[in-house]
Amino acid sequence: MIPGSDTDHVGFKRTFGFAIQGFRMALRTERNIRVMLGAAAFIVALGLIVQLDLMSWAVILLCCGAVLMAELMNTAIETIVDLVSPEYHHMAGRAKDIAAAAVWTLSVFVAVVGIIVFVRAIMMRFS
């Protein structure tokens, strides 16, 4: 493909379509993705209620996106591990556990950031 050519543009559209397809598939098949999207919707609604400032919105949305991205990566890793090791193997289990731990670690830190942002917003609103 030649950068800037029509075929380059078609390739980008096609890869974007694959990304949308992957997200839809994850949404249909992965409970954790649906839970995290529900949590993100709740956080956005709470942000509207407490009237977050622009910087707080940026932090909250970045955190929500990071957690969703981490869960999607975890799902991809688990899918690949299941493909290459359909029967249980301790190393496959280890890889899946570590990928899940990455999501959990990020989620803990994001929760702390969320608490800081929302406590600050509530204190500013009622002071």
Tokens 């993705």 correspond to 33
- Region of 35 on the Ramachandran plot (φ > 0 left; ψ -120 to 50 alpha; else beta): alpha
User: What pTM, to 2 d.p., does this model score?
Assistant: 0.86
Largest Cα separation within the chain, whole Å, is 59
> In the chain, what are the domains?
31-125 (1.10.287.3610)
39 pLDDT more than 70: yes
Q: Give residue 76's pLDDT band: very low, low, confident or very high (50, 70, 90).
A: very high
3 state SS of 34: helix
∠88-19-39 over CA atoms, to 5°? 75
In which band, very low, low, confident or very high, does the pLDDT at 12 lie, cut at 50, 70 and 90?
confident
3-state SS class at 88? coil
Question: What whole-number distance in Å separates Cα of residue 116 and Cα of residue 127?
Answer: 16
